[in-house]
Chain A
């Protein structure tokens, strides 16, 4: 890598859009993961032509380029492990077109998910692939990670909503992928290749996204179970019968206790809760799906409570799930919630067993873990709660993560459902995808022969996530 020419960067994007003092570099070396590694400069392009000029410069001088949205990723995707230039894409934040007749919108990568939905709402439509971080997450970041959220059971992940995109390649060329039409069978689906590519193949400068009508009716209820296994069986039964829910969330007993301890929300003291929701344009259709779910859940020992169409009541029911993530960060004054082993996906029939396994592995390794997630999509979330100042905690976490992924892979699950790989899941990813990694490397080399785009991630990330970078925490004891 050549020495950075800061003046050249300023000439491309303007002097007010370049930072290179240690304070800024330190902050832009972090995201929501456990990792940190400082870049050499932070640059904010405002136009596609600026992105092209930056990439031409970086490619000629073999300087790493790390595209960044809001830095809310949990696996270290935007942590510049080899230094280089962080491209803060939040300046490219224009909603370019909302085309109702052709059912698409065009946006720049720095548009915030919630902003897009605010712009779509007056037209009676919404962009559905919304993750929990939608108030801060950028569309570019969501595409790069194939993000999804609580309603993915019905509306799918980001990949289901991406029709086309414009991308700047490592050499500065601008290419268009996909088409604005609902269907396309015109060669390789390269726009799909960029979904989940974590900034390693090119820089997304525009995305064409589909949207769906805002449902007229939406109802939610809470199903209580005295056994986690029963809840797991109910999930399999509901999904197996094709019940069309818009949300099916699992909250286990550890998670229930965490929320009640931290925020006193008064969640029922049971072994497991399933939150079920259905939506649609006709009330009878919503009722039909929820009734089908109720019958199947009751067959497996569940009791449906608090079913409501009222938005305030629904918000109240969902509050426990919504507050779970922050509640975990307030679990105890000696434990910190770390984003590790945070989003595996497993077959529906293995949801309950996975939850039990997570608790068993956590206990064996001296850390605390909970299990919750979008089980209607097979997504199981967890966090590792531990005393981050103790080296022993990190040894326990390393072993727990290893054992969890061994189990997940053994039951046909996958390493990441919606948060991506980055640094902290690279080892598990490499084990899971061992036979296809040579092909992935060849694809990467075709797009980015000099390996300047987010190098050191995915298959090129170090095997040991604990030592891959400095950690954001200091383990001194």
Chain B
């Protein structure tokens, strides 16, 4: 029977009241702004697949396999829908049907793999396994956390789609923000882990003709703090950021071992900064449990207070 696993979720698919509260908490929807990419949209698609109202086309399956498993939607769901459990079952059903998954699933860009198995060891979800002398990816297990991206010495691991949460896009957004600053003011980048924090849900735009205070920092959401490469942090400093704050989950709450990696990476950057005469406190790491925007704001404000006192980087007196 087709969609045997999905069938058991029929009640939950019906119970979704389609309030749409999940929209703004979904990094995929925030990136594309198409309702089909939202959790609600995906539940509608799954309902259509289950009832034979739509086909398992490339477009449909691409949506089903596009999710960063941050579970923010589950936290705000009015109807208590276990979205990622349902999605995982639907993915398994689709793989049984022989579809070739795309979406956000990790893959190896080329066949030139050194077989070091770093990605196999690093994957927290056992999605990368050694099979007949090659690394294969289980698309039903991959949660697109991106931990495998930075461990590959050949830079060969990729995610199918990044939805603005990939390192390149983060770097681009950070540089754009820092470069747009005309007035001398403290400027900082806050890389917020999507799993622990989804700050700034404002989606509407204030018209540029209105006098708005020049923002001092920009919050950029990374899919997992653990996949934020050091080069992105350093790039922000190179473009005159006064500081960079990296936010991750408490280690015991991280589902991807990402906090540990992020803390190690920030420590390495701090060491490097100290060696070149830049105050290491310009780059800091903070842990924060899910759903605590007040603490997030307080900690960011404390960081900004400290950064303002330090002044612009690479100036006389900026010594560790």
Tell which of B17-25, B167-175, B263-271 binds the partner.
B17-25
Nearest neighbor of B33 in chain A, beta-carbon distance: A90
A19, A88, A330, A388: which contacts B80 (Cβ < 8 A)?
A330
Tell me if B44 is interfacial: C-beta within 8 Å of chain A.
Answer: yes
Main secondary structure of the interface of A (DSSP, over half): mixed
CB within 8 Å for A118 and B36 given contacts A32-B20, A337-B17, A388-B14: no
In the complex, what residues of A have CB within 8 A of residue B36's CB?
A: 19, 23-24, 27-28
Give A31's nearest chain B residue, CB to CB: B18
Report whether B44 and A135 are in contact in the complex, using a CB–CB cutoff of 8 Å.
no
Cross-chain contact B17 with A23 (CB below 8 angstroms): no
**B 4-28 binary contact with A (CB < 8 Å = 1; else 0):** 0000001100111111110110000
**B45 at the binding interface (Cβ < 8 Å):** yes
Asked whether A135 lies within 8 Å of B24 as measured between CB atoms, the reply is yes
A30 touches B18 (CB 8 A): yes
Contact of A26 among B18, B48, B80 (CB under 8 A): B48
Binds B, one of A92-100, A425-433, A445-453: A92-100
Residues from 39 to 73 in B contacting A, C-beta threshold 8 Å: 41, 44-45, 47-48, 51, 53-55, 57, 59-60, 63
Give the contact stretch, choosing among B128-136, B137-145, B199-207.
B199-207
Cβ of B78 < 8 Å from any Cβ of A? yes
In chain A between 294 and 334, which residues have their CB closer than 8 angstroms to a CB of chain B?
325-326, 329-330, 333-334
Task: Evaluate contact between B19 and A112: CB separation under 8 angstroms.
Answer: no
- Pick the contact of A135: B21, B41, B206 (CB < 8 A): B21
Question: Given A26-B45, A136-B21 in contact, is the A111-B54 Cβ separation under 8 Å?
Answer: no
Given contacts A22-B55, A325-B17, contact A27 B11 (CB under 8 A): no
Of A71, A94, A115, which one neighbours B20 at CB under 8 angstroms?
A: A71
Q: Are B57 and A136 within 8 A (Cβ)? A: no
A61-96 interface mask toward B, CB cutoff 8 Å, 1 = contact, 0 = none? 000000000111000000000000000101101111
- Against B, the Cβ 8 Å flags (1 = close, 0 = not) of A96-107 are 111000000001
- A27 proximity list for chain B (CB < 8 A): 35-36, 41, 44-45
- When C-beta atoms are compared, the residue in chain B nearest to A19 turns out to be B34
A330 to B80, CA, bound (A): 8
- Find out whether the CB atom of A326 lies under 8 angstroms from the CB atom of B79: yes
A-B contacts at CB below 8 angstroms, number: 129
B33 touches A94 (CB 8 A): no
Please measure, in the bound complex, the distance between the C-alpha atom of A160 and the C-alpha atom of B36, giving whole angstroms: 34
Report if A179 contacts B (CB, 8 A): no
Let me know if B210 is at the binding interface, CB within 8 A. Answer: yes
In the complex, how many angstroms separate the beta carbon of A147 from the nearest chain B beta carbon?
Answer: 14
Bound state CA distance, A27 and B59, in angstroms? 12
Residue in A70, A96, A115 whose beta carbon sits within 8 Å of that of B202 in the complex = A115
Known interface pairs A326-B17, A388-B14, A473-B14; A118-B47 also in contact (CB < 8 Å): no
CA distance A96 to B47 in the complex (A): 39
Task: State whether A28 touches B206 (Cβ < 8 A).
Answer: no
In the complex, what distance in Å separates the CA atom of A228 from the CA atom of B203? Answer: 42
Please give, as numbers and ranges, the residues of chain A lying within 8 Å of B48 by CB-CB distance.
26
**Contact in complex: B63, A23 (CB < 8 Å):** yes
Residues of B within 8 A of A22 (CB): 54-55, 57, 59-60
A110 interface residue (CB < 8 Å to B):
yes
Q: Which of A1-33 contact B (CB under 8 A)?
A: 19, 21-24, 26-28, 30-32
- Structural contact, A32 and B204, CB atoms closer than 8 A: no
Closest to A44 in B: B33
Q: Does A133 contact B (CB under 8 A)?
A: yes
B74 vs chain A, min Cβ distance (A): 13
Determine if B207 and A97 form an interchain contact, defined as CB atoms under 8 angstroms apart.
yes
CB–CB A111/B204 < 8 A: yes
Chain A residues within an 8 Å CB radius of B16: 329
Q: B17 — which chain A residues lie within 8 A by C-beta? A: 32, 325-326, 329, 337, 339
Q: Are B204 and A93 in contact (CB under 8 A)?
A: yes
Question: Which one, B15, B44, B47, B204, contacts A110 given CB within 8 A?
Answer: B204
**In the bound complex, what is the Cα–Cα distance between A316 and B44 (angstroms)?**
33
Q: How far is the CB of A472 from chain B (nearest CB, A)?
A: 7
Cβ of B203: which chain A residues have Cβ within 8 Å of it?
Answer: 90, 93, 112, 115
A110 vs B203: C-alpha distance in the bound complex, in angstroms? Answer: 10
The smallest C-beta distance from B99 to any residue of chain A, in angstroms, reads 13
Bound complex: CA A95 to CA B204 (Å): 7
Which of A23, A114, A118, A474 is in CB contact (< 8 Å) with B57? A23
Residue numbers in A under 8 Å from B201 (CB-CB):
114, 135
Instruction: Tell me whether A336 is interfacial, beta carbon within 8 Å.
Output: yes
Q: Which residues of the other chain, A, contact B78 by a CB distance below 8 angstroms?
A: 325-326, 329
Chain A residues close to B by CB (< 8 Å): 19, 21-24, 26-28, 30-32, 42, 44, 70-72, 88, 90-91, 93-98, 107, 110-112, 114-116, 118-119, 133, 135-136, 325-326, 329-330, 333-334, 336-337, 339, 388-389, 470, 472-474
Complex A-B: 17 CB contacts under 8 Å: A22-B60, A24-B36, A26-B54, A27-B41, A28-B35, A30-B44, A70-B20, A71-B35, A72-B18, A93-B204, A97-B210, A119-B206, A135-B24, A325-B17, A329-B15, A330-B15, A330-B80
Given contacts A336-B11, A336-B14, 18 further A-B contacts (CB under 8 A): A24-B36, A26-B48, A70-B23, A71-B20, A90-B203, A93-B204, A94-B204, A94-B207, A110-B204, A111-B204, A112-B202, A135-B24, A136-B23, A325-B19, A329-B15, A329-B78, A333-B11, A388-B14
Closest 3 CB pairs of A and B: A326-B78, A115-B204, A329-B79
